[in-house]
Amino acid sequence: MICVPTTAGTGSEVTSVAVVTDEQQERKMVLASPLIGPDVAIVDPILTASLPRHMVAATGMDAFVHALESYTSINANPFTDSLALQSMKMLKEHLPASYAHSFNHESKEQVHIASTMAGVAFNAAGLGLVHACSHPMTALYKVPHGLANAIILPKVIDYNLIANKSKYADIARILKPELISCDDDSAASFLVEALEEFNKQLDIPRDFSYIEGVMPGDIDKLVHDALHDQLTIPLNPRKVNSHDVKQIYQKLLPQLNTDSVAYSN
């Protein structure tokens, strides 16, 4: 099997993971097997030159989330850490430029390589709560996967932050190099803001308030499906419960609940 990616995001060309959408149940399910791992990957950035700008942003942020979640996964190791960190550095440097101009070939190449590196990292280390919350948003509301990841990311990081201040500080310093002189607690405290600023450069919304037709009963299905995303939830750096996942969705879907919420400890 030879895989030729035409977006710079999924990393599927180097993973043993596939996604199946059950249209009737409105569920997006992930399966993994070494039997579905590609034999050869051809990573040619020229094939991404014709991507619409919104797809450049969404798929690029998908790659960034792959790198970030594999770096903070409880299954992370020094090999996956090195790939994840370098991938995030390359995406921070080159994704905005790739988004700004479709024929910036150097940035396209760097983003495409970074996506593949992030794919190798998460194939070994796994992902976390961002992907667990993202899959139901795609299945229920047809939100593009990378866009869902990007919007969800700051809210989940706000929740996860206490679990690994050191690693989240490393990520904050990639996005804001001036934090190099700060201690880990101080640097990590700027990460949510830094991620929101990075999303803003790519014209990514802050939440899902633009979605029409959201029903109050939807949140129970969203929480249930997120918690049953068994290839992601167990690897999240902070232990997840239904109450906190519900609060994350309430922040992401303000049309469901306009009351302020605070995470439980």
pLDDT range class, residue 223, cuts 50, 70, 90: very high
pLDDT range class, residue 261, cuts 50, 70, 90: very low
Residues 6+ apart with CB under 8 A from 142: none
Residue 247 lies in a domain: yes
Task: For residue 3, give Cα distances in angstroms to 56, 63, 79.
Answer: 19, 17, 23
Contact between 45 and 112 (Cβ < 8 Å):
yes
Residue 111 lies in a domain: yes
Query: How far is Cα 205 from Cα 148, in angstroms, rounded to an integer?
Result: 10
Q: What is the pTM of this model?
A: 0.93
pLDDT, one tens digit per residue, over 57-97 is 999 999 999 999 999 999 999 999 999 999 999 999 999 99
Query: How far is Cα 191 from Cα 169, in angstroms, rounded to an integer?
Result: 7
pLDDT, one tens digit per residue, over 180-201 is 999 999 999 999 999 999 999 9
Residue 261 lies in a domain: no
Domain limits for position 229: 2-252
Query: How far is Cα 261 from Cα 265, in angstroms, rounded to an integer?
Result: 13
CATH, residue 61: 1.20.1090.10
One-letter identity of residue 192: V
Cα of 38 vs its chain's centroid, Å: 22
Residue 33 lies in a domain: yes
Residue 264 lies in a domain: no
Residue 11 lies in a domain: yes
Query: How far is Cα 215 from Cα 239, in angstroms, rounded to an integer?
Result: 28
Question: CA 42, 118, 36: angle at the middle one, nearest 5?
Answer: 55
Total count of domains within the chain = 1
Residue 262 lies in a domain: no
**What are the tokens at 158?**
């706000």
Residue 187 lies in a domain: yes
